[in-house]
Amino acid sequence: MPPPPPLTSRFQGRTALVTGGTSGIGFAAALRLAREGAAVTVVSRDADRCTHAEQALRDAAPNAKIQAIAADTTDPQAMAEAVAQAAALGTTGRLDILVAAAGIDGEGKDVLDLDPDTFGKVLDVNVRGLFVAGQAAARNMTGNMTGKPARSGGAIVLVASVNGLQAEPGFADYNASKGGAVLLARSMGRDLAGRGVRVNAVCPGYVRTPMTMAYLDDPDTLTTINSGIPIGRVAHPDEIAAVIAFLASDEASYITGSAIVVDGGRTA
């Protein structure tokens, strides 16, 4: 992987909330935003993971404002409170950026063998969780909150997957959830464009994260996967975080309702 470009201060004075921000792509995105000046709040269901992630982020970005909150992304009240706490961490009292990265994997079974309850759980976390977080964030960004002054503007990035654009055999539950994430970003992008909120999805291919390590650590499996990627390797979370940061920045001011593929050419 080539060395990263030097960081800027393009998020100085802005506040960001990252769900699923304690590991993988979410953690990388939180760190990227913090290093570029944002006051960052990460959310996870696991309180212990929040504690460890908050310390890791503070160590890696010592000059940034960082906090971690244990909350369920599928709970509207919990996410409304998380958004309020994230907004309060900054100097403006508002939220500028949401990165919704919380998600779970599918069962990895043939469609006839999938458990309906597990199927529902995958959609609940991977689609409802993005919707609930996105709705709470957008209400703050558009000023649609009791007692808050009217103002508008912000950027929301939903972490989807190339599985939302191209079906992978044996992953009907995960594919369906990520397809839902892509269409959710497109729908929210259209609905919120007139209020200054941009919404996009990022669609990674294979990325080396805790969720994928189980099979990427197998040399034969990794060789097979790499053979189907024109660039010849899986991505590092930092590479996805760079695209997320771009979409959250003013440099992407004319991009909304889009699904940006970051897969090394796998689906080209």
Query: How does DSSP classify residue 181?
Result: H
As a whole number of angstroms, the distance between CA 106 and CA 140 comes to 32
One of 174, 206, 215, 254 is an active-site residue; which one? 174
Tokens for 229, please give them.
Answer: 């990627």
Helices of type H across 61-154: 76-89, 116-123, 129-141
Give the closest residue to 16 by CA, choosing from 183, 187, 140, 143: 140
For residue 30, what are its two tokens? 């939180």
Give the residue among 226, 220, 223, 260 at the shortest CA–CA distance from 240: 260
- As a whole number of angstroms, the distance between CA 66 and CA 54 comes to 7
Biggest CA-to-CA distance, the chain = 58
Yes or no: say if 7 and 77 are a contact pair by the CB < 8 Å rule.
no
- 206 counts as catalytic: no
Reference 71, options 83, 79, 60; nearest CA is: 79
Are 176 and 218 within 8 A, CB to CB? no
CA separation for the pair 13, 94 (Å, rounded): 11
- Tokens 């464009």 belong to which residue? 193
Residue positions annotated with a catalytic role: 174
